[in-house]
Amino acid sequence: MPIIAHIGKVPVEEWLPFLVPVVALYVYGRHRNRRRREALARLPDVSSLLDEAIIRRVLDRWSTAGHRELSAEAVPLLYPPGPDGLTASELASRSHRDPAAVERSLEDLQELGYVDLEEHGVGERRVWLTVEGHALLDLAEGELLAAAAQRAPAAG
């Protein structure tokens, strides 16, 4: 005769079939995200990968997803790992652009609802992605990973 264990007042045999798929999906998701983060970490510097064709590719992907109002200036700002926690001057240094131009682009992104700018010290603001901004970053990452993968065989 089988022994049925209970957790609280719920018999194990009733919840166990539901728990196994949930745990399996969780483990798969963690593994998939870790592989993506590792691939993103291997992306070359902004200036090494971004050219007109790839910027156009990212803009087309954003447009397809309903973000038609974005310009090419936004692409280097959303280059992985993204702008979260950085200031305009830090982003300008990373993307090899003029800090004043980066500040204007960030203000445009804020007006569109993709970033929040938080005061940080005198004259400095930190950038934080909104939910919509994270969606943009995810789309950009996908295109950049695909572009880097296409270039890798040509380089090797």
Instruction: Please say if the pLDDT value at position 61 is more than 60.
Output: yes
Average pLDDT, the chain: 86
- Reply yes or no on domain 45-155 having CATH 1.10.10.10: yes
User: Given pLDDT bands bounded at 50, 70 and 90, which one contains residue 6?
Assistant: low
Flag the least confident range among 8-12, 16-20, 85-89, 106-110.
8-12
Instruction: Please say if the pLDDT value at position 10 is more than 70.
Output: no
Flag the least confident range among 63-67, 84-88, 109-113, 123-127.
123-127
Query: Residue 50: what pLDDT?
Result: 87
Instruction: Please say if the pLDDT value at position 126 is more than 50.
Output: yes
Query: Residue 123: what pLDDT?
Result: 77
Please state, in angstroms and rounded to a whole number, the distance separating the CA atoms of residues 140 and 143.
5
The domain limits of the chain are 6-40, 45-155
